[in-house]
Structure 1
Amino acid sequence: MYHYYLLFHSYFRWAAILALLFHLIWIGWNALQKKTFTKQDYNLMLVLVIIYDIQLVLGWLLFFESPMVSAFWNDVGTQVKNRQLRFFGLEHMSMMTLGIMLINFYSFKAINMIGTTAFGYLWKRFVWIGLIMLASIPWSFSPLTSRPNWR
């Protein structure tokens, strides 16, 4: 199943990245316009959250099946010095899980902000979350740890 999880996670990441970029631009634009946060805005956020949550579930399935992750956790003391194994065995999953948990938290907290100018509040938080997540992706151009953009 590992190869299927890897393919699904690899391809679905583009939906998650596009959703994240759209999310950031949409929140930023509405914050600049000082737009009032509505129920429709909240519903759109929930759709985006579902995309992130699907990617997180695919990531956790991959995490439990990955030979790289198994190699890391079988000998953490030695493998923590191996950049590739440490990234996939610890860093990538930790940072992505944290980012998606924060997205869930602030998105669900936003229901209490309907009728306010919540976009400014959300913008400050989502920029940091987006940076955490974008920095934790194994981009093909990364000198630290890279994977192909398409499998």
Structure 2
Amino acid sequence: MYAYLLITHSYLRWLVLISLVFGLIFSFIKHKKRKIYTQNDYQLFNGIKNIFNLQFLLGILLLFQSPFVQTFWKQISVAVKWREVRFFGLEHPFMMILSVVLINFFVHKSKTKINTQQGFKYLFIRLLIIFVLIFLSIPWSFSPFTSRPDFRLF
């Protein structure tokens, strides 16, 4: 089951990133055109948030099954010195949990911006921060922290 969760989690990151980039572009264009943030726009960003939440649930399941995480918590004093174990046991989960909490909070708070022009600017700035957090915390094939394939095979 661990292997299937890992593969699903790995591929779902692309949907998360695509939806986040879409949200950034959408909010930037709407802000530049001085459009009013509507209930429909809120529902769109709520959908993006739900994609994050699905990925988060898969990540939590992986957290409890990952050999890296289990190794990290069994031998914390030694494991913090191992880059890969520390990354998957501490850094990646912490940054991703922070990102999910932030997107849930910001999208919820954007509901107060409905029928104003500030909603898109508000979300653009906050989604950009979340994008940076997530992009730096993903184990890319080119990452200096830890390297994983961008596309896993079954």
Give the CA deviation at 1:110. 1.2
Which sections of structure 1, spanning at least 5 residues, go unmatched? none
Give aligned-pair identity as a percent. 45
Contact conserved, 1:99 with 1:132, CA < 8 A, in 2?
Answer: yes
Aligned partners of 2:110 and 2:122 also within 8 Å: no
TM-score (norm 2): 0.94
Larger deviation, residues 119-128 vs 87-96: 119-128
| SS at structure 1 position matched to 2:92 | helix
Other-structure match for 1:5? 5
Whole-angstrom distance in 2 between the partners of 1:30 and 1:84:
41
The count of aligned residue pairs is: 151
Equivalent residue for 1:15? 15
- The equivalent of 1:148 in structure 2 is 149
| Residue pair 1:34, 1:120 contacting (<8 A) in 2 also | no
In the aligned structure 1, how far is the partner of 2:102 from the partner of 2:73?
A: 26
SS in structure 2 of the partner of residue 116 of structure 1 = coil
Native 8 Å contact 2:24 2:124 kept in 1: yes
CA deviation after TM superposition for structure 1 residue 143, in Å? 2.0
1:31-78 deviations in whole A, cap 9, x for unaligned?
A: 222211001100101111111100000011001000011001100111
Counterpart in 1 of 2:69?
69
- RMSD of aligned residue pairs (Cα, Å): 0.9
The letter of the residue matching 1:125 is: R
1:70 corresponds to which letter in structure 2?
Q
Q: TM-score, normalised by structure 1?
A: 0.96
For the 8 Å contact 1:9–1:55, the answer to whether it is kept is yes
- Partner of 1:137 in structure 2? 138
Tell me, in whole angstroms, the C-alpha distance in 2 between the residues paired with 1:27 and 1:90: 32
- Stretches (4+) displaced over 3 A: none
2:83 counterpart letter in structure 1: R
Counterpart in 2 of 1:82? 82
**What is aligned with 1:114?**
114
